Amino acid sequence: MFGSSGIRGIVGKEITPKIALKIGEACGQIYKKVVIGNDPRTSSVMIKNAVTTGLLSYGVDVTDAGMVSTPTLAYAARDYDAGIMITASHNPPEYNGVKIFNKDGSGISMKEARKIEAKMKEEGSHAKSYAKWDEIKQLKERDFVRQHMDAIIDDIGFAKGGEIALDCSNGATSNISPYLLREMNYRVIAMNSHPDGFFPAHLPEPVDENLQQLKDVCGIKRIFGIAHDCDGDRMVVASNKGGLIENEKLMVLFARYIDAKKIVVPVDASMIVDELLDAKVYRTRVGDIFISEKLKEIKGDFGAEPSGTWIFPSFSYCPDGVYAAAKFVKMMEEIDVGRETEKMPYYSMKRISFRASRNKIDVAMEKLREEMEKMEYENFVDVDGYRIEFENSWALVRKSGTEPKIRLTVEAKNKEEMEKILDKMEGLIKRCLK
């Protein structure tokens, strides 16, 4: 049930109040003090109330953080046994989910997730273990936005000032990012900064096709721009020329800026990370929980994903798009971001996905391994799906951790080679899905 980003699915089908209640009851048998929050999706309060009911039924001390960004909730978790966020992050509006955080801001491990799943499957024991009427705690409410903002400013400091465009994607960062950047002395052109679970401006995934409005403003005004996804665990940057800066180039800039010696990225990150950084690069499965686990294991300095998630362990093990936005505007004072990113090499990369039933995907992945191992390659990596590496290119096939999809990523040092490999892999995946 738990994937790389918690539990996630379509509301009314995979995510229901009944399932949410079971999640709350299961967590209520493991944690005794919990903070819970939600994004602005139309179903989030319903799901949150069901999870909260399950928690309270086991005598858990619950604090409701209200509508907050995921990194705000994860930062608040430091004072609790766990933080629970109701969100489907960047997914379309019909989705919702539940993600659980440790005290240090990292998502819970798969081992901990399996423990919760096991509790959810237990039947017939609830009547004996529910809290007695006089053991049920009163639900508390608390605003954690100010705490998160103050912590970021204390860590990063104030900026000299400037102007920046900001697209909150009608999501949960609407109540923090515009205010934080203004407090840091920036003039903020805030766009889509009213929470709305219908996402009227564009879908909440911060990718090129959804951010035309932001890119237009940045191109016209010759300023940089920032965009979040719905819950704020992602942050991407639009350049002052009106296009998005590749997230892997931002990885390089951030790593250099903080003088990172050990960084962690997933298997779908670009070759430029290895080639441009004078640092030890570790690769993990895709998903912030795996990035965080590896960072803790190696005492790493920085972690990131190509999707636009940024983890600065000195502040939190949560992918914090709000902190990353503040870090970026501060970095702009010391680095010519446009010039530095333009100096970096451009490699051709394409990411596409193939939707199918979960059963079909499982069968196809077994076939894909057999077929890919027959190819001529320099290296074969099966940390997460199958990454096949050639002299100047690579391809990765993996199951999505958040949706019923097979994802394909291909990168090469020239466009012709990338398209050749893409065509070959796309045909192979389609055949294996039949």
Per-residue pLDDT of the chain (434 residues; tens, 9 = 90+): 787 678 999 999 999 999 999 999 999 999 999 999 999 999 999 999 999 999 999 999 999 999 999 999 999 999 999 999 999 999 999 999 999 999 999 999 999 999 999 999 886 545 458 999 999 999 999 999 999 999 999 999 999 999 999 999 999 999 999 999 999 999 999 999 999 999 999 999 999 999 999 999 999 999 999 999 999 999 999 999 999 999 999 999 999 999 999 999 999 999 999 999 999 999 999 999 999 999 999 999 999 999 999 999 999 999 999 999 999 999 999 999 999 999 999 899 999 999 999 899 999 999 999 999 999 999 999 999 999 999 999 999 999 877 789 999 999 999 999 999 999 999 999 999 98
One domain, residues 30 and 53 = yes
CATH code of 377's domain: 3.30.310.50
One domain, residues 237 and 338 = yes
The CA distance from 184 to 160, in Å, is: 8
One domain, residues 177 and 326 = yes
One domain, residues 390 and 278 = no
Nearest to 286 by CA among 302, 273, 298, 304: 304
Last residue of a domain, one of 343, 367, 392: 343
- Is 399 a member of any domain? yes
One domain, residues 152 and 115 = no
Q: Where are the alpha helices (DSSP H) in 355-413?
A: 358-373
Distances (CA, A) of 182 to 143, 162, 244, 336, 410: 20, 10, 22, 21, 39
CATH code of 32's domain: 3.40.120.10
One domain, residues 57 and 115 = yes
- Is 379 a member of any domain? yes
Let me know: does 65 contact 117? Beta carbons within 8 Å.
Answer: no
Please tell me which residue in 4, 89, 174, 400 is annotated as part of the active site: 89
One domain, residues 25 and 113 = yes
One domain, residues 111 and 69 = yes
- Is 2 a member of any domain? no
Residue whose tokens read 């995946």: 429
pLDDT for residue 126: 56
Structure tokens at 167: 């697209």
Q: What is the extent of the structural domain holding 195?
A: 146-343
Last residue of a domain, one of 326, 343, 360: 343
- Is 115 a member of any domain? yes
Structure tokens at 149: 């903002």
Looking at the structure of the chain, the number of domains it has is 3
Q: Considering the entire predicted model, what is its pTM?
A: 0.93
247 contact partners, CB below 8 Å, separation of at least 6: 236, 304, 305, 306, 307, 308
- Is 265 a member of any domain? yes
Collapsed DSSP state (helix, strand, coil) of residue 429: helix
Last residue of a domain, one of 300, 326, 343: 343
One domain, residues 125 and 71 = yes
- Is 398 a member of any domain? yes
One domain, residues 170 and 291 = yes
The CA distance from 199 to 39, in Å, is: 12
The CA distance from 72 to 63, in Å, is: 14
One domain, residues 93 and 164 = no
- Is 1 a member of any domain? no
- Is 368 a member of any domain? yes
One domain, residues 95 and 219 = no
197 contact partners, CB below 8 Å, separation of at least 6: 39, 40, 41, 42, 43, 44, 93, 170
Q: Is 393 a catalytic residue?
A: no
